[in-house]
Amino acid sequence: MAFLILAPVFIMLLASAGIVLLQWRSRRFGYAWIIATTATLLSWGVMLYLRLRLPETLVLAKWQPATLFAAQPVLAIDRPSWPYATALVTLILAMILTDSARTHLGSVSAINWAGSLALGAVGLLAVLAGNPFTLMVAWTAIDLVELMVLLGGEETISLSRRVVIAFAARLLGTMALLAAIIISPTNGESFDLSGSSSVAIFFFLLAAGLRLGVLPLHLPFTQEPRLRRGMGTILRLAPVASALALLARLPDNAIPERWIVPLAALVSLAAFYSAAKWLSAENEMTGRPYWLVGMGALALMSVVNGKPAASLAWGLALLLPGGLLFLYSARRRSFLFLTALGLWGMLGLPFSPAATGWQGLSPGSLSFWGVLIWLALILLILGYIRHALRAGDPTDSIEKWALFVYPLGLFGLIFIDIVIGIWGWPGSRSVGIWWMGAVTVSIVALVLFVYRFYPAVRKLINPPETSGLPQFIRAALGFLGNVFRLDWLYRFIWFVYETLGKILTIFSAILEGDGGVLWALLLLVLLVSLIGRGGF
């Protein structure tokens, strides 16, 4: 039954191709929605069934000779990969169902569903990768699919350039993974990294951190309205899910003690900065990159503290409650219980989905960086509440059938979050560190109470203007913002790209011009002279 691992991938790819063919022939929007919904429901059912058969491994191909190709492409569904694979399929299903409430806005198209299904299928291959070699190939495929989807929808040269730059920045994570494979003694054959050196583990951690969006912090395509809600959510979360799956596979206590404090400092600072930006963002879509970085930093901190299994709790909170908020466009008071359940999924209360996550944030002794990342979590929770209570699109113009289907998509995310929290991985159904969850809820409740009933404090938190801040503080905040956004890295990558393009253009003009034959003869004479003297 190992072939069932590939079933969701094939189902979604076939549905994607079918939707593209249908739109090319007849452009029937309703049929495309039915195909996409049916395919994701089937894939969702297969993922739930596979939970009963863990673990399963499927070798995709046996390349020969074995001495040359030591690592083979392998898919494996086990305790670290099943939660993320199920969450990814659920996100795609929720996106398609909730799109029913956005059809009247003109931002939904069948081609977006086809692209989301294709990206989800490739994302599943990355999440279910059975060894680092397969993961590297899947990451490359994700980047290529994402690049084609984004460039296919861009209308201006400037946006296309920024997409290419973001693609180049994403490749840094793949290069870090390649370095880790080369250094690791397994050479990409398996995820058994217990015998790997600390340098190899560091490169694996770096690869996951880069793919999580820490570098870069904000991708340019989030500015494009067509991609902000439905398909944009899948474009942002599918690559993140594959990086989170890698974090969950790293061995316990793999980070050398001398590296823990510097890494904890970097991760906690990134988490706190991103959490503050998330809380102060205009809306959840503007703040989405900061949510990904902030929650991803919690998962990274779990690995730094030697508890990779705890990263599952924060990674699933990033994908499921976060995905619910990003798809929650049409809003009415009766839907608030859905966001309340999403909030419960990330509070870390006993027996809640994120209860086991406290083990990853608690290094065993009180430290400044541990307190800072705890404060970052509190800011992320406050930002979640603020954005969940914000007014959204009206529901008056939505058809009655869509008003029934739309909340089902949102509820599916909560349902799977609860199922995975109870049934997902060893120890997932746990009390956790109960007092940390209780204190967190108490602090959040106190902040909300003070903000609600003390106008003076509210005015202090939200001043009418920031011009009264000292100049050096504004300059420091601006500098930190530029560093974390990595605009300087974008400019450097584009400078290198343009410089190489100009050099190639000059060489092409020289070789194709009137003197091209002379230059070719000159290079031939130099080559012959070097060979005649014994080579280089």
Among candidate residues 74, 299, 111, the one with its CA nearest the CA of residue 192? 74
103 within some domain: yes
Partnered with residue 76 across adjacent β-strands are 57
Q: How far apart are CA 26 and CA 22, in angstroms?
A: 6
Is residue 460 in some structural domain? no
Q: Mean pLDDT, to the nearest integer, of 393-406?
A: 81
Q: What is the pLDDT of residues 105-145, one digit of tens each?
A: 666 778 888 888 999 999 999 999 988 889 999 999 888 88
Instruction: Return d(Cα 407, Cα 335) in angstroms, integer.
Output: 7
Residue 169 located in a structural domain = yes
Q: Is 261 exposed, middle or buried (0-12, 13-18, 19+ CB in 10 A)?
A: middle
- DSSP, residue by residue, 314-349: HHHHHHHHHHHHHH--B--GGGHHHHHHHHHHHH--
CA distance 250 to 143: 23
Maximum CA extent, the chain: 89
pLDDT tens-digit series, residues 27-84: 677 888 899 999 999 999 999 999 888 888 888 877 666 655 567 888 999 888 999 9
- State both tokens at 481: 């913002």
Q: 464 in a domain, yes or no?
A: no
Please provide the average confidence, as pLDDT, over all residues in the chain.
Answer: 80
pLDDT at 410 over 60: yes
- Examine the domain organization and report whether 390 and 496 are in the same domain: no
**Is it the case that residue 460 has pLDDT exceeding 60?**
no
Q: What is the pLDDT of residue 467?
A: 43
Q: Are 208 and 246 in contact (CB under 8 A)?
A: yes
User: What is the share, in percent, of the chain residues with pLDDT greater than 90?
Assistant: 26
Q: Are residues 493 and 370 in the same domain?
A: no
Is residue 433 located within the same domain as residue 507?
A: no
Both tokens of 297, joined, read 């930093």
- pLDDT tens-place string over residues 282-312: 888 888 888 998 999 999 999 999 899 899 9
Give residue 187's region: left, alpha or beta (phi > 0; psi -120 to 50): left
Sequential DSSP letters for 378-429: HHHHHHHHHHHTS--B-STTS-HHHHHHHHHHHHHHHHHHHHHHHHSSTT-S
Give the contacts of 398 (CB within 8 A, at least 6 positions apart): 101, 104, 330, 406
Here the tokens at position 171 are 């490749």
Residues 427-458: tens digit of each pLDDT: 777 888 888 889 999 999 998 888 777 766 55
Q: Specify which of 56-65, 150-159, 180-189, 262-271 reaches the highest per-range mean pLDDT.
A: 262-271
Q: What confidence category does residue 101 fall into, taking pLDDT thresholds of 50, 70 and 90?
A: confident
Q: Which of 102-111, 161-170, 402-411 has the least mean pLDDT?
A: 161-170
Contacts made by residues 187-194, CB under 8 angstroms, sequence distance 24+: 187/70, 187/71, 188/70, 188/71, 188/131, 188/132, 188/133, 188/136, 189/70, 189/71, 189/72, 189/131, 189/133, 190/130, 190/131, 191/130, 191/131, 191/132, 191/249, 193/249, 193/250, 193/251, 193/254, 194/251
- Boundary of a domain, candidates 431, 455, 479: 455
Give yes or no for residue 353 having a pLDDT over 70. Answer: yes
Tell whether 447 and 510 lie within a shared domain. no
pLDDT, residue 509, reads 64
Of 362, 324, 347, 327, which is closest to residue 421 (Cα–Cα)? Answer: 347
Give pLDDT, residue 464. 47
Site of tokens 């086990």: 78
Task: Using the predicted structure, report yes or no on whether residue 166 has a pLDDT greater than 90.
Answer: no
Residues 511 and 432 in one domain: no
Looking at the fold, whether 340 and 230 belong to one and the same domain comes out as yes
226 shares its domain with 282: yes
Q: What is the pLDDT of residues 214-245, one digit of tens each?
A: 655 544 444 444 556 778 888 889 989 999 99
Report the 10 Å Cβ neighbour count for 473: 10
Strand partners, 57: 76
Q: 318 vs 401, which has greater pLDDT?
A: 318
DSSP per-residue letters across 153-178: H--SHHHHHHHHHHHHHHHHHHHHHH
- Gap between the Cα atoms of 95 and 303, Å rounded: 30
Shared-domain flag, residues 496 and 451 = no
Same domain, residue pair 451 and 495: no
Number of domains in the chain: 2
* Locus of tokens 């919690």: 298
Rounded Cα distance between 178 and 281, Å, is 36
pTM: 0.85
What is the model's pLDDT at position 320? 94
Between the CA of residue 82 and those of 22, 41, 117, 445, 513, what are the distances in Å?
32, 17, 18, 34, 59
Helices 368-388 and 434-453 pack at an angle, to 10 degrees, of: 50
Q: What percent of the chain has pLDDT above 70? A: 76
Facing residues of 129 across strands? 75
If asked whether residues 506 and 379 sit together in one domain, one would say no
Range of the domain at 519: 489-532
Q: Is residue 474 part of a domain?
A: no
470 belongs to a structural domain: no
Amino acid 296: pLDDT? 92
Residue 463 counted as domain residue: no
Distance from chain centroid for Cα 483: 21
State whether 383 and 493 are in the same domain.
Answer: no
Q: Is 387 contained in some domain?
A: yes
Could you say which DSSP state residue 214 is in? S
For 312, the token pair is: 């599952």
- 506 and 440 in one domain? no
Please tell me what DSSP assigns to residue 129. Answer: B
